[in-house]
Structure 1
Amino acid sequence: MTKATALTEETAHRTLVAVCRRVGFDPAGAELIRIGSNAVYRLAKPVIVRIARDGETAGNARKQVAVARWLAAENYPATRALDVDQPIELGGHVTTLWESASEEEEYAPLAQVAELIRRLHELDAPPSLALPQIEPFAKLDGYMPDLERVDRSDAAFIRQRIEHLQGRYEELDFALKPGVIHGDANVGNVILDRDGNPLLIDLDSFCVGPREWDLVQTALFYERFGWHTEDEYRQFVDIYGFDIMSWPGYPVLAEYREISMTLWLSQKAVSDEGAANEVHKRIEAIRTGGSRRDWAPF
């Protein structure tokens, strides 16, 4: 693979055109849905093109495609990988292609999110899928260079906090049986298709680990951010069958997620003043125990 270039709208579009030429698709009229960890385009035909940011490996992309095909074989409602030879490595980036489930990105109700997580946790992945074990702190290590872009005292605090958090994590006694997990399960990764049916998307973090990882964000969004109502959260708990907030290890996973969300945003801090201010605000809230209700989504 050629040396990666920074993922900007310009480089992403250049890669999009090259990939479409490779597979015989027309890039004309492609819509850039978002650019973050991936640049995500919707073509004029019902196809989604995901172009990975620097550091994304072809191995992870192959895993996503393999997971999608396994879930399809299980008749599990998830995003479907196109039947083409992929991933595609061009322009220093790794690209995958997917069926477009809808022309709009509408998120599923939380009750349907709970149902999809519960159904996923009932599946046993075949050994041939070779899913990796979850390594949450290795992921945080990958964000460490981005801390050079934020305030020095903020960076020092977060490094110290991660070290303390890792010690607490290693002492956790998980309540649920480990197994296959989405790894980033939350309302933002369950959309409605054209017929109004929920689909699990974004298979990047699929792995094997404690099932609590797929429950913590919903609890965090309810308890600390106020993004879900109490009724929505209680319905989520009833459908899934376990309340992670009743488990003593919940605060550890919740703080991990807050730090992970903040570090992910720090990669934008050098070129986006709004992102830089948001990173500082979030770190100050973690430092002081302040409210998370004003954390802005990015």
Structure 2
Amino acid sequence: MTDVTPELDQKLRHALKGICQEAGLVADGAELVKYTNNAVFRLPSQHVVVRFGAGDLAGQRADHVAGIATWLQSNDAPAAKLASGVSEPVVFENYSATIWELLEAGNPAWTGAELAVPLLDWHALTPPQGLKPWDPFSSARSRLAMADGLAPDDHAWLTQQWAEVEAGYRAILPDLQVGLLHGDAYIGNLLREPTGRFVFCDFDGTSVGPLAYDLVVAAVSALRFGAIQDHESLASTYGLDVTTLPSWPVLRRIRELVLVTSVITDLRNRPEIAKVHAHRLSTLRSGANELWQRYK
């Protein structure tokens, strides 16, 4: 269960109720399972999951996610499916939502080996024409512009770090293998269909980008969260250890910056998240290779 203040919980549930009314659903019994950039509610009685965010950026992402999800389904890709009978995305006030079929999630027995199977299938697909190029840098600039509760010195440091790593990425881009990138390929974004097939959810970062980055996610989790076995089993099953590639230092730095920039738009209303974020940022600034806690 994600911890939020009573005020924020009330705000999110107001949004959920409005979204459900727009979609012809009932919000009774909704369970908040995650809230980082987006709020994710499980509605067991409706057999769906509702995922939404606020503002212009959330609206753009919802449009993108709904479009790519439709394409993935048409190609029978290992991907979560939008709920049938709902026009996506759903808009209520300044919130934009996508609604998904409810699938099994969060099995602690799943490892990097289970992650590798759908990832290999994704990377074998030819991206749809017109799919946007991977651009974590614009997203970071947007979050920095909307930062709330971030100290000015930390804001300036993050801004500089993003500028430097973007220049480093542009320099190595011609040498990278690009294709259909999930963008946040970790076990927390893995689901299992009733058939037993593993599929991905969360397509915010799905784009045309360096395939190696989908392996970097697990490699950085090994370094920062101690998930060493998951990285090793992913590398073994996929057939590549990303830490051996020349692009590893730059892609690692991008991932670490993503992990300290993703929540900065709402630190003031999320005290527990703010504590975890403060430790991540201070250790990244100091260069300490300390383990991090996960956002809850």
Q: TM-score range by the shorter chain?
A: 0.7 to 0.9
For residues 163 and 67 of structure 1, the distance between their equivalents in structure 2, rounded to whole angstroms, comes to: 28
Range moving further from structure 2, 270-279 or 244-253: 270-279
For residues 224 and 49 of structure 1, the distance between their equivalents in structure 2, rounded to whole angstroms, comes to: 29
For residues 60 and 155 of structure 1, the distance between their equivalents in structure 2, rounded to whole angstroms, comes to: 24
For residues 131 and 158 of structure 2, the distance between their equivalents in structure 1, rounded to whole angstroms, comes to: 30
Corresponding residue of 1:164: 164
Matched residue count: 287
Report the CA distance between 1:133 and its aligned residue.
0.8
Q: Residues 272 and 13 of structure 1: is their aligned pair in 2 closer, same or farther, counting only changes over 3 Å?
A: closer
1:85-139 CA-to-partner distances (Å, cap 9, x unmatched) read 121111211111111113x533632101011111100011332xx3111112111
Corresponding residue of 2:77: 76
For residues 25 and 148 of structure 1, the distance between their equivalents in structure 2, rounded to whole angstroms, comes to: 33
Corresponding residue of 2:240: 242
Report the CA distance between 1:40 and its aligned residue.
1.4
Corresponding residue of 1:217: 217
Corresponding residue of 1:3: none
1:201-238 CA-to-partner distances (Å, cap 9, x unmatched) read 11111111111121111111113431232xx4333112
TM-score scaled to structure 1, two decimals? 0.86
AA partner of residue 277 (structure 2)? V
Report the CA distance between 1:57 and its aligned residue.
4.3
Q: Residues 169 and 65 of structure 1: is their aligned pair in 2 closer, same or farther, counting only changes over 3 Å?
A: same
For residues 257 and 141 of structure 1, the distance between their equivalents in structure 2, rounded to whole angstroms, comes to: 15
2:55 aligned with 1:54: yes
Asked if the contact 2:220–2:252 (Cα under 8 Å) also holds between the matched residues in 1, the reply is yes
For residues 70 and 183 of structure 2, the distance between their equivalents in structure 1, rounded to whole angstroms, comes to: 18
3-state SS of 2:228 partner: coil
Asked if the contact 2:41–2:50 (Cα under 8 Å) also holds between the matched residues in 1, the reply is yes
Instruction: Indicate which of 118, 121, 136 corresponds to 1:119.
Output: 121
Report the CA distance between 1:148 and its aligned residue.
5.8
3-state SS of 1:179 partner: strand
For residues 21 and 284 of structure 1, the distance between their equivalents in structure 2, rounded to whole angstroms, comes to: 43
AA partner of residue 114 (structure 2)? Q
RMSD over aligned Cα, in angstroms? 2.3
2:257 aligned with 1:259: yes
Corresponding residue of 1:276: 274
For residues 17 and 155 of structure 1, the distance between their equivalents in structure 2, rounded to whole angstroms, comes to: 35
AA partner of residue 143 (structure 1)? R
Q: Structure 2: 5+ residue runs without aligned partners?
A: 1-6
Report 1 or 2 for greater relative contact order, CA contacts < 8 Å, sequence distance ≥ 6. 2
- Percent of matched pairs sharing the same residue: 25
Report the CA distance between 1:20 and its aligned residue.
2.5
Corresponding residue of 2:190: 190
Asked if the contact 2:223–2:291 (Cα under 8 Å) also holds between the matched residues in 1, the reply is no
Corresponding residue of 1:199: 199
Corresponding residue of 2:291: 293
Report the CA distance between 1:194 and its aligned residue.
4.7
3-state SS of 1:209 partner: strand
Asked if the contact 2:65–2:204 (Cα under 8 Å) also holds between the matched residues in 1, the reply is yes
Report the CA distance between 1:257 and its aligned residue.
1.2
Corresponding residue of 2:20: 20
Q: Residues 174 and 241 of structure 1: is their aligned pair in 2 closer, same or farther, counting only changes over 3 Å?
A: farther
